[in-house]
Amino acid sequence: MNATAKPAGNHERRAEVSSALARRLPAHAVLTAREDLFPYECDGLSAYRQTPLVAALPGTVEEAAEVLRVARETGTPVVARGSGTGLSGGALPLADGILLSMGKFNRILAIDPLARVARVQPGVRNVQITEAVAPLGLYYAPDPSSQIACSIGGNVAENAGGVHCLKYGLTVHNIQKVAALSIEGDALELGADALDAPGYDLLALMTGSEGLLALLTEVTVKLLPKPQVAQVVMASFTNVEAAVDAVAKVIGAGIVPAGLEMMDKMATAAVEDYVHAGYDLEAEAILLCESDGTPEEVAEEIAKITEVMREAGCTRFAVSGSEAERLKFWSGRKAAFPAVGRISPDYYCIDGSIPRGALAKVLRRIAELSKHYGLRCANVFHAGDGNLHPLILYDANVPGEFERTEEYAGNILELCIEVGGTITGEHGVGVEKIGQMCAQFNPAELAQFHAVKAAFDPPGLLNPGKAVPTLNRCAEYGAMRVQGGRLPHPDLPRF
């Protein structure tokens, strides 16, 4: 069943922190009533819920800085939140902490079509950027499935990707500069207007840091020219292994598709019933492979892709004949998560990355684990770069089923590590995978992560308890075993 929320905190503590905030922010920007706090108690990973002590809704950079100063002065943890679409619990509030909403930071500040950049506030929605620059023939490449709702600040915090990340990269490859506030409320600027910046690459360090280092207040994103043409090949396969082989053959042929996605039979059935994208319901797996560029480039690449798909044993394929049909093919993949939500009371979305050569092995093992735990699992993922998104279906109202789901998910993540992969590709660690961090990294590496955190946030008030495990976390996870009377991770913080 869903994790039980802890008490919201004593009245005295709430009164102290809310009074301090009220002296520096407009009255409407400080929320303390329980009914006002409920909307902030979880992100997209709704299995874990927690009501914050207080919520602050600053509308300016200076007001945001004042929230951080209050946090510092009162020793109160603070969790930043964007649109709340994250899938790892990264924006999960703390019972004794401030929930700092960046929802009011939702303006596009400037667009420079010559430099091909846009300056935006962190609350701007991902797709909003592309919509704003479309008349200029430009677009923003990273396109998470939640792009109509997710905010660019959250994309930076989690280093989000999307179906086009194979060719165009993750968020880290598509931003040029950020402005941020330290825990002291001081302004920081990382990156540069030029293509490179002097000194250490702190911009890359900030990207994917999950709110542990600073509070983002502005992002300069890179823009790309919109391709003249884009087409999608949709190919069906009678078994998952053949589809995986086709993925390897496409990449091996020197083709770098704009997108290369795979869905298994359970996922396609759920999607087709939901959006009617024209998917083959008899196929055990389907691939969506997109080419973009000039008409000549696309025609040549599509011909190569279809040839490779035939050689790999595809039983049926279709090539989008118009932009409307291309979007229709992609609509199913984009709607996979809500579609699966229609066939199960609850589902748990996993995010892990593996070498492409291990895809078949990992998918077989996921199927075996599905039988072992008695839980259905639909697979939807970025096949081109090995980023998996297994969706485990469960019912939180059935005693013990959520715990089995967590165990199943943990096994999948450890399998990713076993084959040379990682526990996350774009969703972040948050609270969901913090135990597996103990398996992914050794004590020296974890100690360095804590050192970086301490350099940016000495009091440890920014999103504590997320992403990087402490000694106690690793002990709870089970990776910490007393060996010869000594703990193998003695250098990790114990708080």
Can you name the residues that pair with 112 across neighbouring β-strands?
Answer: 117
Contact 222, 250 (CB under 8 A): no
Region at 199 (left for phi over 0; alpha for psi -120 to 50; beta for the rest): left
- Is beta strand 390-394 parallel, antiparallel or unpaired with respect to 377-381? antiparallel
- Amino acid at residue number 323: E
Burial of 5 (0-12, 13-18, 19+ CB in 10 A): middle
The reply to whether 229-337 shares the fold of 11-101 is: no
The alpha carbon torsion through 173, 138, 122, 202 (nearest 10 deg) reads 20
The hierarchical CATH code for the domain 108-225 is: 3.30.465.10
How many other CB atoms are found less than 10 A from the CB of residue 372? Answer: 12
Length of the chain measured in residues = 495
Quick one: which H or E segment has residue 353?
strand 352-353
Q: Which CATH architecture has domain 344-418?
A: 2-Layer Sandwich (3.30)
The Cα 59–Cα 24 span in angstroms is 12
User: What is the mean pLDDT for each group of 10 consecutive residues in the chain (495 residues)?
Assistant: 44 95 97 96 91 98 98 98 95 97 98 98 98 98 95 97 95 98 98 90 97 98 98 97 95 96 97 96 97 97 96 96 96 93 95 94 96 97 94 97 96 96 95 94 93 97 95 68 38 38
Q: What is the reported pLDDT for 88?
A: 95
Q: Which 8-state DSSP code applies to residue 149?
A: T
Quick one: which H or E segment has residue 270?
helix 265-275
Domains in the chain: boundaries: 11-101, 108-225, 229-337, 344-418
Per the listing, tokens 């542990």 go with 212
For residue 470, the SS3 value is coil
pTM of the model: 0.92
Contact 88, 130 (CB under 8 A): no
CA quadruple 241, 423, 166, 259: dihedral sign = positive
Fold observed for domain 11-101 = 3.30.43
One-character DSSP codes across 56-119? E---SHHHHHHHHHHHHHHT--EEEESSS--SSSTT---TTSEEEE-TT---EEEEETTTTEEE
Residue 266: name the closest of 240, 289, 298 by CA: 240
CA distances from 464 to 37, 215, 293, 491, 495 (A): 19, 13, 44, 18, 10
- Amino acid at residue number 66: E
The Cα 38–Cα 45 span in angstroms is 15
- CATH 3.30.70.2190 assigned to domain 229-337? The reply is yes
Q: What is the reported pLDDT for 265?
A: 97
- Is beta strand 138-139 parallel, antiparallel or unpaired with respect to 224-225? antiparallel
